[in-house]
Structure 1
Amino acid sequence: MTAKPLLLIDGSYYIYRSYFALPPLSTKSGQPTGAVRGAVNALQKLLKQYHPTHIAVVFDPPGPTFRHEMAADYKAHRPPTPDDLKAQFEPLKQLVRAMGIPVLCVDGFEGDDVIGTLAKLAERHGQDVIISTADKDMTQLVNERITIVNPFTDKDGILDPAGVEAKFGVRPDQIIDYLALVGDASDGIAGVQGVGPKTAVKWLQAWGSIDNLIANGDKLTGKVGETFRNSLDQVRLSRTLATIHCEAPVDLDIHGLTRRDSDREALKAIYTELEFSGLLATLDATALPAVEDDEAPSAPPIATRYHTVTTQSAYDALLKRLIEARAFAFDTETTSLNYREARIVGFSVSLEVGEAYYVPLAHDYLGAPEQLDRNAALVAIQPILENEHIGKIGQHLKYDTHVLANHGITLRGVVFDTMLASYVLDATATRHNMDDLARHYLNYQTTTFEEIAGKGVKQLTFDRIELEPASAYACEDADITLRLKEHFQPLLLAEPKLNHLFHELEMPVAPILQQMEAKGALLDFPQLQRLSENMAKRLAELETQAHAIAGMPFNVASPKQLGEVLFDKLMLPGGKKTASGQYATGEDVLEGLDHELAKVVLEHRGLSKLKGTYTDKLPQLADPVSHRIHTSYHQAVAATGRLSSSDPNLQNIPVRTAEGRMIRQAFIAPPGYKLVSADYSQIELRLMAHLSRDARLLEAFTLGEDVHKATAAEVMGVPLTEVTNEMRRAAKAINFGLLYGMSAFGLAKQINASRPQAQAYIELYFSRYPGVKRYMDETRALAAKQGFVETLFGRKLPVREINSKNAAMRQGAERAAINAPLQGSAADIIKRAMIAVDAQLKLQRFDAALLMQVHDELVLEVREDQVEAVSAMLKVAMSGVASLDVPLLVEVGVGGNWDEAH
């Protein structure tokens, strides 16, 4: 008998969880595959973690089970299995069998019963069991030999007896009684009305079991005690339904659950049919022979040659190879994720797939082996890293560029960034970190940083990690980076538009962002301090007002106390409680209340957020000596191509409120310089005119009309000269609202009109601008047909829920399909502008630097005597980056601070 645990996998949970958690992927022929892909990824993760010798994947049978005969309501209220999910069960089973893993499904018995039977059988043979599921019913099986893991989340970790008690408040042997008391609406297990988890735990901790509760039923007080005494037949039935039947007719013994060799030909056929190109490309990694009993895996899934370089002769030989290379993958290991603070601990390179080198330079722990001198080693490789003719391949190389700059090295010759390649190919298929890319595209489970460094407060910095695991981790980073590059490059070449977008837009923007981050924007610390003090005074005034209105003191920042004041004390209508039992007091709720207290609290919240996020925090984030703030720009986050920023988030500083403008006043120019702001005017509306080819909209922009006044005149049927400010405001809401798919209900709320009036405005708008209506209809239809839309420059924007049977999801996808080409094209244009402006700054040798990019605006720091020339250059350079059917208008402002410039 093997010493390794038997691994039992709840296949039904895997496929259901993947279906509802992941995007609905499908093949070109329309065969759904998303749930299969998610389930296989989770299975691969589990196999890599445990290397099981004995394993089974268990599914529920398609028909009724013995529990349906016992209770007509059992699972009767569950919605039917969606057709596109039903179609994925058989392909998953075929794939699992081809991987050499037994698949079990027993008519008349749920998967839980089959897993329970096998788990108890293994236990009787003295074998440990790991059950992979998130089904709480399974926790009744847990004991010293049987544990539960969930491969989709680390939230609960491994559920052993102590873990079950910590999670549910009862022991595993009490779970059946717990479920019988609480019930399970999705399974049709009634439980006892009025008994929730807290009551069930309290009763079971006091009485131990349902049998003891029944025997002492007269001691259970209150209405819930009476309900229990009147529900004994129901309780007994619920207990029977909740009990896992551990004697299901399973024909296999433990030896029948041995993992066999994978069937490579079968896997190849399945991967080809399901269009799993990543799995197909790494078939050798997935077609491993089964591990023999009691043996650790003899080799990693992919044959590798990883080397640790600790001698000068080995380093010299490596440098010689790098000098002669056309390109190589490169990755740094550092002391921090903060690019301003990070120092190099070592670096890894890979010149051939499967081979990598780690050069440790600063591992510092008790017993650490001798390493090369860091300064000398970096000086030796500096000419290679700064050589533009030797290509550098990396994952998120903007970070490595910062780190190398901290050591006086300027990284040049960057030819391929795998993070950006993944983002360009499919922005929404996965997150774009290396671990997720390797799993999604290469079907490879990387070693995570937490595995070698630990978690939380005890997590080690890289310099404290022992050399052997550190080297393996670092070499894998470089190797997988090269593998990803080899995977992505042909995909990009197969789509010329995306290839151009990658090489001519995203790759050139990255070093510009790095320069902007390194430069930073100067802050006026005294201004921020004054703002914080003024905001603190105003917040205190608002608290006093809130207490006076409520007639009692309470914590304005506490949603619980606020809810009680609004809906219990003041008895305002519309109070709804959340799952936690407290009233919902979100912004939408407060805005719907016609009461002075709601207005005061909304102002308090907004001000408190600005104070905590900006006026208090900006000085803490800034360099204490230079007073410059160094944000982080994120290129591979928003599906539309928009940049985002963090620490601080520059995109969220409000521009229309007085407080927001005062915060912008704290971003200042140093003596002898000015801030120059260049902003595209109404770019998304101009793009709508271009894309829709609507004659009236094109005319308005071409003639330089105020497009909002023009819309007001058209929709409200008045001459242009008679359009009031109120009419223009309503027209502006219509113009921008329709870009984002706003409904009549939303527009009515926006312009304070009735819903029929708002609907009439929308209908009038479309009658006056029929090209816009045609564009929207055609875009929705195209998105439904091909599953994506495109920007002007070929960026693909997936719209995965466009054909969803869920109306809300489908309508949301339709709105996104209309807006994404507009917002995405605007994002592409501002990036093209950054490249053009950066080139002109260098070409004309201006004493000026790009500082910030926010929405459709670029902010520069410019020497005073060059402001006029730079301003003229900005208008020409930015307006020339795209050829539209309407003018691309650039507005330039100048000031001593950001607010003045904007």
Structure 2
Amino acid sequence: MTDNDRKTLLLVDGSSYLYRAYHAMPDLRAVPGDPSSPATGAIRGMVNMLTALQKEVPAEYAACVFDASGPTFRDALYSDYKANRAAMPEDLRAQVQPIHEVVRLLGWPLLCIEGVEADDVIGTLARHASARGMRVIIASGDKDLSQLVDENVTVIDTMSGKRRDVAGVTAEFGVPPSLMVDFQTLVGDAVDNVPGVAKVGPKTAAKWLMEHGSLDALIAKAGAIKGVAGENLRAALQWLPTGRELVTIKTDCDLQEHLPGYPDAIDSIAIGDSNTPALADFYEKFGFRTLARALQAAHEPEGGAAVEGEVTSAGATEFAEAAQQRPLDYDIVLTWEDFDRWLALLKAAPLVALDTETTSLDELRARVVGLSFSVEPGSAAYIPLAHDGPDAPEQLPLDEVLARLKPWLEDPAAHKLGQHVKYDRHVLANHGIDVRGYVHDTMLQSYVLEVHKPHGLSSLAERHTGRTGLTYEDLCGKGAKQIPFSQVPVQQAAAYACEDSDQTLDVHRVLWPQLEAAPKLRGIYELEIACSETLFRIERNGVLIDAGLLGQQSRDLGQRILALETKAYEIAGQPFNLGSPKQLGEIFFDKLGMPVIKKTATGARSTDEEVLEKLAEDYPLPATLLEHRSLCKLKGTYTDKLGQLADPRTGRVHTHYAQAVAVTGRLSSNEPNLQNIPIRTAEGRRIREAFIAPPGRLIASCDYSQIELRIMAHISGDEALLHAFTAGLDVHRATASEVFGVALEQVSSEQRRYAKTINFGLIYGMSSFGLAKSLGISTSAAKNYIDRYFERYPGVKRYMDLTRLEAKERGYVETVFGRRLVLPEINSPNGPRRAAAERAAINAPMQGTAADLIKMAMVQVQELLDRTKPEVLMVMQVHDELVFELPESEADWLRAEVPRIMAGVAQLKVPLLAEVGTGANWEAAH
């Protein structure tokens, strides 16, 4: 066989590559410039390195090999093996699973085998392939792999350009590859914490081995080696066999389980084609737009770009391809003749995609700059109404256009479609138009069908139709140089706006058939559409804020914060920066002698929140700092800001509710964030006193009682838990009675507290370690409590076990009503990530079902208010709670009717219970 006939096996040391990618790349983020979004530098670097390597080293066979978490035989052999290695940086750890995912999507076979180091897997594959006469290229910067080099095996370092073949190894280390194990045994490995012979470096080791021929021969002559080096060699004689075993790369690992038929079936590691649709989704998810465009261009057939999204509805692929190739007919409406023609089209169309171009992202202050419509694929129009750039043409008068459109906009029989329709509803409401007839929202369609993916229009269009287009930044620029949309030339603005409406219609035509084909998901989507309408009403209502009270609370908190700073200085014996980890470390550990609890990834002594909480159990300074931080957060986030967020005309705060964010279906709110107002401290509860009712009116709070525990009883079907709720027992007291084996009336307050922690902890997948920490008891005691709980509630244990298995099989779990909660990492090779996904699998159906229930309640209550009590306003939704503002005269009606509706939105195996309170402010209503 000639050299040209030989097949090549390319082995990538994935663990080495990911660290090098991490350190070589800048701090890239999925959302550029947003430090809170996921880090992506290592992922992007890995893609770049693998793509370049594949071009540089053509190979028929390949594998990318990673270290798995957990111990190997070397840890059993030597307990200090790798003991001095720093922990993997958290932002790199978060990128490991996506790196594994993208490696597979690029077509590389990936190996990550528990209990076996990557070097050993590489060694086994290399030795087998070399024995068959194959050419083997190992891509790594790790010098340890040099011991594998022979006439068929070469190690290359693409970062440095170094090539270690037989001649290269001999030149670099002074010994041939056949002596590299002996060489490493003498020198040791500082990286893996493997000692060698003291004071013996590479030159001495190479000299000895070349003189004596091998380590065994050197050991036999150890008595004749002179000087300090000889003494050190003799002192290490008992250690050297262990050292040699530690540094020797295994070449006989059993890979049958992971590569069936190997080594005879070499095709098990043949490099494959990349998964283009899934790769496009991946690039979109992590913000790699350049890679996504390059991928699209590389797979573009004649006449149109490739469809990057995986489409499951019948005919959707063909539709997407047609969408990319069809001509576009976009109009700019500047005359009444064109307006009348388009108004007739709108009235005749069965469904119209509508989009607004505005002055602001704040929907309650935004004003219309222009409107766009699409009535059929490829056909759209833009009506510019408030463009004021230097070249702006004469436009139709805004007020008159809106007045002529108002009957159609407010007609519930005129069906409309949008992307995030709640925003457009607010914008038009700012002009006195109450839009009706919104029957579809592509953002919510995506949220229900693919909750774990981005839901922005550009992402949806690329993913499902392969279409790309203009961005807002393309037109308006970025940062300080960004211009308002009203100054964008009308021709460009029209192209952008028409494209938005046209793409929205396209995306709907792909996603809606998928919802129609899945009845449960369609039901969830219809709930989200109805909820969007209710949230629009809540946001529009807003809630009255007592700015004066907030100001007084801020002043009080400021005085307490200053007092705590003074107290901290006195305890420390000096002034210092309370926010400086370096200064805290010096005072805690050097001056006051506190124990070091843990270290950061860089080896510094940690003073994070967890450390402060632990130290606060025994030392006053950490406790003072924790209280100081808590009050500073309360002041900065709420008492200082809430008043500023109020509308100066009404004194009301209008929070923004986001539907398409939380994967569980829960709502999130911002400006202000009502979900995170702390209520476990007196200071936090005082914040709620500032949410008030006007004179003659009340605030009412209605919330579900123990909703997630009731859902657990329903889902698990556990008889004891079902009995506790159907009999109206105090469920925490009932649990304490079961776990501690005492009669209900003999349960102490401490036992009830323990039982409450167990009940809620297990819902969130709490381990015995977590329970021990929460209760301040030993881990063994916590484990006994959990074991006893599962003995008394076997249905709960059965539910948890089955849910984990189903999640692993399907990749998702469901709520009682069919909402899908996707768990991308449920089968992750990364142990901690997989464990987190398993905990989420247990909790998500309960949290998601609770989210479904509160949304059902919101919708039904609002419908009742519209029919019978328009003077009662729903003003907030927080977790499992609905908050109202109402006339004092309607208090009795609300106390009777709203809990009845909330309890009756669904029939579970246990009764739902909603409790209500009223008062002059939100806190008083609890």
Normalised by the size of structure 1, how large is the TM-score?
0.71
AA aligned opposite 1:749: K
1:714–1:576 CA distance, 2 compared to 1 (3 A): closer
Partner Cα separation in structure 2 for residue 287 and residue 801 of structure 1: 35
Answering whether residue 478 of structure 2 is matched by residue 455 of structure 1, we say yes
2:327 counterpart SS class: coil
Could you say what secondary structure the match of 1:780 adopts? Answer: helix
**Given that residues 546 and 600 in structure 1 are in contact (C-alpha distance below 8 angstroms), is that contact kept between their aligned partners in structure 2?**
yes
1:827–1:59 distance in 2 versus 1, CA, 3 Å: farther
How far off its partner does 1:324 sit?
Answer: 1.6
1:585 to partner: Cα distance: 2.7
In the TM superposition, what is the alpha-carbon distance from 1:573 to its structure 2 partner? 2.1
- Cα 1:775–1:284 change in 2 (3 A) is closer
Decide whether aligned partners of structure 1 residues 368 and 112 sit closer, same or farther in structure 2, where only a CA change above 3 A counts.
farther
Matched, 1:776 2:766: no
Amino acid at match of 2:478: K
CA distance in 1, matches of 2:490, 2:314: 32
**Residue 339 (structure 1) shift:** 1.1
Residues 387 and 490, structure 2, Cα contact 8 Å, conserved in 1: yes
Aligned counterparts of 1:283 and 1:392: Cα–Cα separation in 2: 25
Aligned to 2:764: 740
Q: Which residue number corresponds to residue 436 of structure 1?
A: 459
CA offset at residue 845 of structure 1?
Answer: 2.7
Give 1:303's match in structure 2, choosing from 327, 331, 337.
Answer: 327
Residue of structure 1 in register with 2:152 after alignment: none
Q: 1:809 is matched with which residue: 825, 828, 833? A: 833
Please state how far the C-alpha of 1:578 moved relative to its aligned partner.
Answer: 3.9
| Change in 2 beyond 3 A, CA 1:12/1:376 | farther
- Tell me, in whole angstroms, the C-alpha distance in 2 between the residues paired with 1:643 and 1:465: 35
After superposition, give the CA deviation of every residue in 1:717-738 in whole Å (9 maximum; x if it has no partner).
2222221111111110000000
> Partners in 2 of 1:83 and 1:405 — Cα distance?
48
Runs of 4+, deviation exceeding 6 Å? 19-23, 77-86, 107-113, 264-268, 283-288
Secondary structure of the residue aligned to 2:675 is helix
- Structure 1 residue 580: Cα displacement: 6.9
User: What is the CA–CA distance in structure 1 between the aligned matches of 2:673 and 2:480, rounded to whole Å?
Assistant: 26
The answer (yes or no) to whether the contact 1:638–1:644 under 8 Å persists in 2 is: yes
**Matching of residues 740-889 of structure 1 within 5 Å:** 740-889=764-913
Q: SS at the partner of 1:742?
A: coil
Match of 1:551 among 573, 592, 606: 573
The answer to whether residue 915 in structure 2 is matched with residue 894 in structure 1 is no
CA shift at 1:285, angstroms?
7.1
The correspondence for 1:625, drawn from 649, 652, 661, is 649
1:230-284 deviation digits (Å, cap 9, x = unpaired): xxxxxxxxxxxxxxxxxxxxxxxxxxx9x8994579999x98xx95559994578
1:326 matched residue in structure 2: 350
Render the CA deviation track for 1:767-804: whole Å, top value 9, x for unaligned: 01111111111111111111111111110111222222
Residue-by-residue CA offset, 1:361-389 (whole Å, 9 max, x unaligned): 11112222211111111111111111111
SS state of the match for residue 901, structure 1? coil
Mapped pair 1:469 → 2:492 = yes
d(CA) in 2 for partners of 1:347, 1:139: 57
The alignment partner of 2:844 has SS state of helix
Q: For the residues of structure 2 that align with 1:81 and 1:554, how far apart are their CA atoms?
A: 42
User: What amino acid does structure 2 have at the position aligned with 1:840?
Assistant: L
**Paired residues of 2:699 and 2:919 also in contact (CA < 8 A):** yes
Q: Distance in 2 between matches of 1:517 and 1:699?
A: 40
8 Å Cα contact 1:63-1:108 kept in structure 2: no
1:312 maps to which residue?
A: 336
Match of 2:533 in 1: 511
- Deviation per residue, 1:208-250 (Å, 9 max, x gap): xxxxxxxxxxxxxxxxxxxxxxxxxxxxxxxxxxxxxxxxxxx
TM-score normalised by L of structure 2: 0.69
What is the aligned counterpart of 2:717 among 665, 689, 693?
693
Structure 1 position 499 matched with structure 2 position 522:
yes
What value does the CA root-mean-square deviation take over the aligned residues? 4.0
Distance 1:139 1:287, change over 3 A: farther
SS in 2 for 1:678: strand
> Which residue number in structure 2 is paired with residue 425 of structure 1?
449
Per-residue CA deviations over 1:18-64 (Å, capped at 9, x if unaligned) read x99999xxxxxxxxxxx9xx99xx99xx9xxxxxxxx9994755599
Aligned to 1:410: 434
Preserved CA contact (<8 Å) 1:12 1:60: no
Partner residue, 1:525? 547
- Residue 638 of structure 1 corresponds to 662
- Structure 2 CA distance, aligned partners of 1:745 and 1:363? 62
Q: Which runs of 5+ in 1 are unaligned?
A: 1-10, 24-34, 47-54, 66-76, 93-106, 114-134, 141-187, 195-256, 289-299
Gaps of 5+ in 2: 1-11, 23-27, 31-39, 63-87, 110-134, 142-156, 163-183, 192-294
User: Between Structure 1 and Structure 2, how many residues are aligned?
Assistant: 693
Residue of structure 1 equivalent to 2:625: 601
Alignment match, 1:615 = 639
Letter in 1 for 2:575: P
1:571 deviation in Å? 3.5
What is the Cα deviation at residue 694 of structure 1?
A: 0.9
Matches within 5 A, 1:258-407: 262-263=300-301, 277=312, 281=316, 303-407=327-431
Specify which of 656, 666, 678 is matched with residue 690 of structure 2: 666
Q: 1:701-747, CA deviations, whole angstroms, 9 ceiling, x for partnerless residues?
A: 11111111111111112222221111111110000000000000000
Question: Quick one: distance in 1 between partners of 2:411 and 2:718?
Answer: 51
Q: State the one-letter code of the partner of 1:641.
A: G
C-alpha contact 1:623 1:629 (8 A) present in aligned 2: yes
Matched, 1:731 2:751: no
The superposition leaves residues 657-682 of structure 1 with CA deviations (integer Å, 9 ceiling, x where unpaired) of 10111100110111111111111000
Paired residue type of 2:455:
H
Of 465-474 and 862-871, more deviation after overlay is shown by 465-474
Structure 1's 111 and 478: CA in aligned 2 closer, same or farther, altered over 3 A? farther
Q: Is the 8 A contact 1:847 1:866 kept in 2?
A: no
Secondary structure of 2:762's match?
helix
Distance 1:553 1:313 in 2: 75
Give the equivalent residue in structure 2 for 1:541: 563
- Classify the secondary structure of the residue corresponding to 1:679: strand
For residue 604 of structure 1, what is the amino acid of its counterpart?
H
Q: Which moved more, 1:351-360 or 1:78-87?
A: 78-87
Tell me the CA shift for residue 656 of structure 1. Answer: 2.0
Q: Indicate conservation of the 8 Å contact 1:264/1:287, yes or no.
A: no
Separation in 2, partners of 1:881, 1:747: 34
Q: After TM superposition, give the deviation of residue 286 of structure 1 in Å.
A: 7.2
Q: Secondary structure at the match of 2:699?
A: strand
Tell me the equivalent position of 2:611: 589
Shift of the 604–301 alpha-carbon distance from structure 1 to 2, 3 Å rule, reads farther
Matched residue, 1:479: 502
Please give the alpha-carbon distance, in whole angstroms, between the structure 1 residues aligned to 2:190 and 2:60: 29
Q: Give, in angstroms, the shift of residue 896 of structure 1.
A: 0.5
CA distance in 2, matches of 1:414, 1:138: 59
- Are the equivalent residues in 1 in contact too, given 2:311–2:510 (CA < 8 A)? no
| Shift in CA distance, 110/748, structure 1 to aligned 2, threshold 3 Å | closer
What SS does the corresponding residue of 2:422 show, helix, strand or coil? helix
Change (3 A) 1:81 1:493: closer
Letter in 2 for 1:871: R
Q: Structure 2: how far apart are the matches of 1:261 and 1:534?
A: 64
How far apart, CA to CA, are the structure 1 residues paired with 2:731 and 2:190?
61
Does the CA contact (< 8 Å) of 1:333 and 1:346 recur in 2? yes
Residues 95-110 of structure 1 aligned to structure 2 (within 5 Å): none
